Amino acid sequence: MKKIYCFLAAMIFITGCTTTGHFKVPEGSQLYLYKRATPETISPSGEVTTKPFFWTAAGVPPGGGVPYKLEKDGKVLKEGKLRAKFRVVSIFWPPFSLIYWPMGLNPNITYDLINDKQE
């Protein structure tokens, strides 16, 4: 029983510290989210798991959302904003997740940055 509790605690910890989204990006391009200095790692299936975002990422584009930039060979291909989702887990994640990391990527949609669709 103790192993089950440890496993559940570990899963909650991992869930509380990350947000995941599904992307379609041009071949060979690099995705930068939320003005971070390093590009995100995109799995072969298009999944990106990253740190959550601050309240400034709240909202729906074009006015709100998670800022992104696509680069290829050092040149900016596209910039814009992605639809964000409030992370309910941030309410329960101590000590200050609700303050600092309440916004995340929406795991129920695909961010198609090739055809500019977020559905």
pLDDT per position as a tens digit, 103-117: 899 999 999 999 999
Q: Is residue 4 over pLDDT 90? A: no
* Beta strands at 66-72 and 30-33: parallel, antiparallel or unpaired: antiparallel
Average pLDDT, the chain: 85
Report the alpha-carbon distance of residue 99 to residue 75 in Å, rounded: 34
Residue 15: what pLDDT? 47
Query: Of 22, 29, 39, 41, nearest to 118 (Cα)?
Result: 22
Helix and strand numbers (H, E) in the chain are: 3, 9
* pTM higher than 0.85: no
SS3 104: strand
Do the Cβ atoms of 106 and 81 come closer than 8 Å? no
Q: Which residue has the higher pLDDT, 102 or 37?
A: 37
Spatial distance between the Cα atoms of 76 and 37, rounded to a whole number of angstroms:
14
Residue 66, pLDDT score:
96
